[in-house]
Structure 1
Amino acid sequence: MKKHGMLNRDIASQLAKFGHTDWLVIADCGLPIPEHVTCVDLSYRIGEPSFETVLEAVLEDFEAESAFIAQEINMHNPQLETTLQERLDCRYVSHEELKMMSHSAKLIIRTGEASPYANIVLQSGVIF
């Protein structure tokens, strides 16, 4: 059994397939999921697991060189925006653009988060 890193076998297996500049989306429970993109759905009730819990677990095992969040977060979820900007240097895109970016993602991880605009696109970096 794995001792460190991502224990979820579906997420761990998908992350192992990532290359430089591939996109990973961590989504709230309301973000539309494109049918052609692999989705690991972790949600089991409203709010569980939280966006922040899943993001922290992913970032322990994933090298993100950049991040994108919806500009609408600053009006509708400023506390999460502050947390994200402290953790990552996030670039802003419109929510519509973020949804379009999700169509090019290699993986979407769906959380149970139910707060507004709790979505992020992480661009894979390299570890060397």
Structure 2
Amino acid sequence: MKKSALINSELSYVVSTLGHTDEVTICDAGLPIAEEVQRIDLALTHGVPTFLDTVKVYLSEAQIEGVILAEEFKQVSPVLHDELLTVIDNEKKATGREISVSYVSHENFKVRTQASRAVVRTGECTPYANVIFQAGVVF
């Protein structure tokens, strides 16, 4: 059995096959997911699993160098947005690596997810609780 925090086999496989700058989206329960993109559906019920819990487990396995968010996230759901930025800042400190954060409109965000290697759906019901992670390298 796998020893690290991430035990979901689909997500673990995606992380292990990422190349530099490949993207993975972690989203709330309502984000539309294109049929051609791999869907990893973790949602059980409203709020389970949470967006932040999923992000934290993902970051325990994946090296990232960039984060893309919708502009609307910081305006509509500022508390969760700020909590996510704290998690990202903690990841910077833990890895000693720079992580860029950029913003696009929600419409552009949805289009961008179509190029993700996978979209991970959580049970989060907070509006705009979505993030695209760009893979970094560990060397």
User: What TM-score does the superposition give when structure 1 sets the normalisation length?
Assistant: 0.96
Which structure's residues are more often helix, by fraction?
2
Aligned position for 2:41: 41
Identity, % of aligned pairs? 36
Consecutive unaligned residues of structure 2, counting only runs of 5 or more, are: 89-99
Q: How many residues align?
A: 128
Instruction: Quote how far apart the aligned CAs of 1:14 are.
Output: 1.4
Instruction: Quote how far apart the aligned CAs of 1:21 are.
Output: 0.5
Consecutive unaligned residues of structure 1, counting only runs of 5 or more, are: none
Q: Within 5 Å, which residues of 2 pair with 1:1-128? A: 1-88=1-88, 89-128=100-139
- SS of the equivalent of 2:66 reads strand
Instruction: Quote how far apart the aligned CAs of 1:85 are.
Output: 2.0
What is the RMSD of the two structures over their aligned residues, measured on CA atoms? 1.0
Runs of 4+ in 1 over 4 A off after TM superposition: none
Deviating more after overlay: 114-123 vs 83-92:
83-92
Whether contact under 8 Å (1:28, 1:118) holds in the other structure is yes
C-alpha distance in 2 between matches for 1:112 and 1:5: 19
Instruction: Quote how far apart the aligned CAs of 1:127 are.
Output: 0.3
User: What TM-score does the superposition give when structure 2 sets the normalisation length?
Assistant: 0.89
C-alpha distance in 1 between matches for 2:59 and 2:83: 14
C-alpha distance in 2 between matches for 1:16 and 1:43: 22
Whether contact under 8 Å (2:41, 2:121) holds in the other structure is yes
